[in-house]
Amino acid sequence: MSDPYRTIAAAIAVFAGTNVDDLIVLTVLFLSARSAGRPRPGQIWIGQYAGVGFLVAVSAAAALGLAVVPDRWVGLLGLIPFALGVRGLVAAIRSRGAAEPPAPVVATGALAVAGVTVANGADNISVYTPMFRTIGVTNSFITVAVFAVGIALWCLAGSRLGSHKRVIAVVQRYGHWIVPVVFMLLGVLIVTGSR
Is this structure's pTM higher than 0.75?
no
List the domain boundaries for the chain. 3-193
At residue 1, the pLDDT reads 44
- Residue with more model confidence, 1 or 116: 116
pLDDT in tens, 121-177: 777 787 788 788 778 889 999 999 999 999 999 999 989 987 777 766 676 677 667
Q: Is a pLDDT exceeding 60 seen at residue 67?
A: no
- Residue with more model confidence, 33 or 173: 33
Q: 136's torsion region: left (phi>0), alpha (psi -120 to 50) or beta?
A: left
At residue 49, the pLDDT reads 96
Averaged over 101-125, what is the pLDDT?
75
Averaged over 172-188, what is the pLDDT?
72
Q: Is a pLDDT exceeding 50 seen at residue 13?
A: yes
- Collapsing DSSP to helix, strand or coil, 63 comes out as helix
**Across all residues in the chain, what is the average pLDDT?**
79
Burial 75-95 (b: 16+ CB within 10 A, else e): bebbebbbbbbbebbebbeee
- Residue with more model confidence, 32 or 65: 32
- Residue with more model confidence, 105 or 75: 75
Give the whole-number percent of the chain exceeding pLDDT 90: 20
Sign of the alpha-carbon torsion through 65, 66, 70, 74 = negative
